């Protein structure tokens, strides 16, 4: 008959041994796919809109002020 602490220890050892046999096995879901973008297309479009829009406003403001900023 085993004591409670011995059964708990045996369970932990068994769980640890299972982890040892799984070591190095990488699931397909954890690997990165090459076709995923870190930024979504909507956010990228918004960023481009803001950058190009602000540069156009700067060009228009410079042209209307006669080049004297």
Q: Tens of pLDDT along 25-42? A: 666 665 556 667 788 889
Section 36-64 average pLDDT:
90
Cα dist from 67 to 34, 52, 59, 64, whole Å:
46, 20, 9, 8
| The total number of residues written for the chain in this structure | 69
Distance of alpha carbon 65 from its chain centroid, rounded? 45
pTM: 0.41
Among the ranges given (5-14, 15-24, 30-39, 46-55), the one the predictor scored with the smallest mean pLDDT: 30-39
């Amino acid at each position: 008959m085993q004591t409670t602490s011995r059964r708990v220890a045996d369970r932990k050892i068994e769980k640890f041994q299972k982890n040892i046999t799984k070591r190095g096995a990488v699931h397909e879901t954890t690997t990165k796919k090459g076709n995923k973008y870190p930024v979504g297309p909507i956010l990228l479009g918004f960023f481009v809109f803001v950058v190009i829009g602000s540069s156009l406003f700067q060009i228009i403001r410079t042209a209307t002020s006669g080049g004297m900023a």
